[in-house]
Amino acid sequence: MVFFKYRNLIHQLDHQAFDRLLQPGDTTLYSGIYRCEVCGYEIVSTKGDSMPPEHHHKHTLAQGPISWRLIVRTIQKNPDVARDRESRNRGYLER
Ligand SMILES: [Zn+2]
């Protein structure tokens, strides 16, 4: 589970990036925090890097393989320079 202190620095965004599940070795399309859908293990990955290998952490046989979901996307450009929230959201989607 991720934690944060300053609510004004985190924005909710309905984007397909959060719906896609990545498998071990897949290329990361978005920089951010990823969570294993099976056990909750969290990692940070950078756009263009490979997700960790299949034996990154242990699951029981019953749990099955690792599957990663993006839970917090990070950006390199400060969105606070945008004039309003709508233009910021448009900018997120274009990257
Ligand atoms: Zn796991």
- From residue 75, how far is each of 3, 61, 72, 95 by CA, in Å? 18, 36, 10, 9
Say which residue the tokens 């071990």 belong to: 24
Q: Determine the distance separating the centroid of ligand 1 and the alpha carbon of 35, expressed in angstroms.
A: 8
Q: Determine the distance separating the centroid of ligand 1 and the alpha carbon of 40, expressed in angstroms.
A: 6
Q: Which helix (H) or strand (E) holds 43?
A: strand 42-45
Q: How far apart, in whole angstroms, are the C-alpha atoms of residue 75 and residue 81?
A: 13
**Whole-number pLDDT of residue 64:** 96
**Whole-number pLDDT of residue 92:** 59
Any domain includes 84: yes
Backbone dihedral angles phi then psi of residue 21, each to the nearest 5 degrees: -100, 135
**Whole-number pLDDT of residue 14:** 96
Any domain includes 4: no
**Whole-number pLDDT of residue 77:** 73
Q: Determine the distance separating the centroid of ligand 1 and the alpha carbon of 32, expressed in angstroms.
A: 17
**Whole-number pLDDT of residue 6:** 96
Q: Determine the distance separating the centroid of ligand 1 and the alpha carbon of 81, expressed in angstroms.
A: 37
Count of domains observed in the chain: 1
Question: What are 20's strand-pairing partners?
Answer: none
Any domain includes 1: no
Any domain includes 9: no
Question: What's the full length of the chain, in residues?
Answer: 95
Any domain includes 7: no
Any domain includes 46: yes
User: Within the chain, where are the H helices?
Assistant: 85-94
Residue numbers of the domain that contains 58: 14-94
In tens digits, the chain (95 residues) has pLDDT values of 999 999 999 999 999 999 999 999 999 999 999 999 999 999 999 999 999 999 999 999 999 999 999 999 998 776 565 555 566 666 655 55
Q: Determine the distance separating the centroid of ligand 1 and the alpha carbon of 67, expressed in angstroms.
A: 7
